[in-house]
Structure 1
Amino acid sequence: LEDSATGRLLPQSFHCEIPGARLDQAKATAAILKDEVYKRMPWACGADGGPVLPVTTDPVEVLLNRTWRPTLSVVGADGFPELKNAGNVLRPYTAFKLSLRLPPLIDGNAAALELKALLEDNAPYNAKVTFTPDGRAGAYGATGWNTPDLAPWLSQALNDASEAHFGAPVGYVGQGGTIPLMSMLQKGFPKAQMMVCGVLGPKSNAHGPNEFLHVPYGKRLTAAVAQVMAAHP
């Protein structure tokens, strides 16, 4: 399933060819953000007193890894006793909750079924392994969304608004974590232009405990969105 040395997922069906336009956008955004794309994250303290490092420090690769390459994360575990109660005894079972993030062009339902077969078939030592996909949006796995090409007026309006309120050209960043609503909206309104933005990142904690937003950024983003809407032909 995974190369333990690099973290790369082995099933080729979990990967897709990165569209040329998305690669160009990642390069342009990396040129703006540079190493801040990973240095601004709250890394834990490492062995030498410095921060823990990401799997790559190439800003372009950091941006591509977060959206256009699959990633497997263990987000929960069960069957393990607390340290204060742990002893040298056999456990009756072990359970893990896995999060498989897929590129937007990969079918989530098909990938979930393949992952199920991969985990359950030919388990080592004749162990019994069961995997239950967490169904979302009427399927075993949610499929991502890749926005259509922007109309020239919108592309220009976004860049003008970014220059006016942030002092830099517009940058496009893929965001992990599927919101099925976007695919539904695109199917219902195939000719509509989509602008997806929000206040996320350092000094913002959305959709979680102690939720808060970076207010100065939020004000500038609101002004930028208003300018883009005013530019609609």
Structure 2
Amino acid sequence: MILTADQIRARVDADWPQILGVVEDRIALRPISAHGINGEHMRKSAEYVANKLREVGVDAKAVQARDKDGNPSAWEVIGSLEVNPNAPTVLLYAHHDVQPVPDEKEWDTAPFEATLKGDRLYGRGACDDAGGIAIHYGALRALGDQLGVNIKVFIEGEEEMGSASFIPFIEAHHDEFDSDVIIVADSGNWAPDVPSLTTSLRGNATCDVHVKVLGHPVHSGQYGGPVLDANTLASMLIAKMYDEKGELAIPGLMEGEPIGGLQRDLDEADMRAAAGVVDSFTLVGTGSLASRLWTKPSATVIGFDAHPVKDSFNVISPETTFRVSLRVAPQQDPHVAMDAMVDFFEKNAPFGAEVHVEPLEAGMGWAMNPDCEATQDALTSLKEAFGIDPVNKGEGGSIPFIPELQKIFPDAQVLVTGPEDPISNAHSPNESVSVSGLRKDVVAEALLLDKLGRA
């Protein structure tokens, strides 16, 4: 029997209180991995997810991972459901941990109590990633015994902490991950009522740049003039990263256009408002706003060792360190980008100051295959669920485990979806998820699983 969009929609509507209840329960559980990835609160969170998956037929269990040194680490959820050994196998991914809430006073609602206001449900983790778990749960519930694909599930417990146990866990559970299609429900849509597939993610490369001009501090009145302080020299070096148009001027870095072509550029006014850009500032760089945010590299100074203003006194700073986070074009090897960054800083030392670069982490980006069958099925499913053509979009950030997963399972087709939208405020105060958008996301994934089963 071929299920229609209306049939699946009716099933999702009938089950909606239970599906939305997953999001509400997840918010109340406070699964903050920063408070201890191996803590009892994270075990309870994983057990809850495993129980919900068992409700929809998945043989799921909470398993404690071990880090690369063999120490007990994050609580993960794995599971499987086989319907036909000859059918395709789909791996469903989401994560059950959430970001902390440093100051509850910044919220308009209680962050760990699900609060419905209009079409949006507020609470920490509502969109990142309780909504992703609810999408998988709701889609499997809607299909029931008419599910035509084999299912594997991985719900991670330390995504917000960098996924340090991810590779050791895959290596220990290789068969539980082996699949034909991987659906990662940890991204979002163009708007609450406009669906999207995420087409690309930038990689990242981070380094510390050490700048030294003196062996010890000296009086600024006695030596200032011929000797510049380390902070000024570091600032001169930082300024060389960008040209007069705001284009990154580090040789050897790749850039590109949005994967699959640019269907709709981002609205500058919306972007400025979302970021809180001051009115006087002119956005830098050239090309589409989408390419500047998704597929061109960018460098950000995320840390700088300088003396606090309130305790400053008249000395020339002898040395300093600043940290640069480079977002790398999706298809460039981040280690090649790191080498380019190291070479740039060490060759551009102002006035012969000593400059030493310490490479830190590097993570590969990812680009979707826009032509594969699973992608086309996903786009069709999104259109049927939302009643409007999808608008593909990239992400400027990184999800390092996706390229790692693709590397281990190179034949798997990866799709990145999710419940977020531009006003979801993931990681920020007043995080929320669109209830109507989430419902359509559930319908879309159920339609996709049905199409994959028939294919």
Normalised by the size of structure 2, how large is the TM-score? 0.42
The count of residues paired between Structure 1 and Structure 2 equals 213
Higher gyration radius (CA): 2
What residue in structure 1 maps to residue 368 of structure 2? 147
Structure 2 distance, partners of 1:218, 1:93, is 51
**Letter of the 1:44 counterpart:** V
Structure number with higher strand proportion: 2
Alignment partner of 1:55 is 2:249: no
Superposed, 1:24-43 pairs within 5 Å as 25-26=261-262, 28-30=263-265, 38=271, 41-43=274-276
Structure 2 unmatched runs, 5+: 1-239
Structure 2 distance, partners of 1:159, 1:37, is 25
Cα distance per residue 1:108-152 (max 9 Å; x no partner) = 1122122112212351222122221112xxxxx222122224424
Cα distance per residue 1:162-216 (max 9 Å; x no partner) = 333434211221212232322222233333221112234433233x354733242
Structure 1 distance, partners of 2:350, 2:273, is 41
Cα distance per residue 1:67-103 (max 9 Å; x no partner) = 221111111222231x322344322432211111111
Structure 1 distance, partners of 2:335, 2:373, is 34
Is the 8 Å Cα contact of residues 9 and 70 (structure 1) preserved in structure 2? yes
**Letter of the 2:299 counterpart:** L
What residue in structure 2 maps to residue 213 of structure 1? 432
Is the 8 Å Cα contact of residues 37 and 62 (structure 1) preserved in structure 2? no
Equivalent residue in structure 1 for 2:295, among 53, 68, 83: 68
**Dislocated runs of 4+, deviation >6 Å:** none
Q: 1:167 to 1:117 in 2, by over 3 A?
A: same
Is the 8 Å Cα contact of residues 150 and 193 (structure 1) preserved in structure 2? no
Alignment partner of 1:84 is 2:313: no
Structure 1 distance, partners of 2:421, 2:244, is 28
> How far 1:160 sits from its partner (Å)?
3.1
Is the 8 Å Cα contact of residues 143 and 180 (structure 1) preserved in structure 2? yes
SS at match of 1:109: helix
Normalised by the size of structure 1, how large is the TM-score? 0.76
**Letter of the 1:184 counterpart:** E
Q: 1:122 to 1:3 in 2, by over 3 A?
A: closer
**Letter of the 1:10 counterpart:** A
> How far 1:55 sits from its partner (Å)?
3.1
Is the 8 Å Cα contact of residues 205 and 213 (structure 1) preserved in structure 2? yes
SS at match of 1:131: strand
Structure 1 distance, partners of 2:244, 2:348, is 23
What residue in structure 2 maps to residue 196 of structure 1? 416
State the superposition RMSD in angstroms.
Answer: 2.9
SS at match of 1:13: coil
Is the 8 Å Cα contact of residues 419 and 433 (structure 2) preserved in structure 1? yes
Q: 1:162 to 1:114 in 2, by over 3 A?
A: same
Structure 2 distance, partners of 1:210, 1:122, is 40
Percent of aligned pairs sharing the same letter: 25
Structure 1 distance, partners of 2:430, 2:320, is 33
Structure 2 distance, partners of 1:192, 1:3, is 38
Alignment partner of 1:130 is 2:356: yes
What residue in structure 2 maps to residue 110 of structure 1? 336
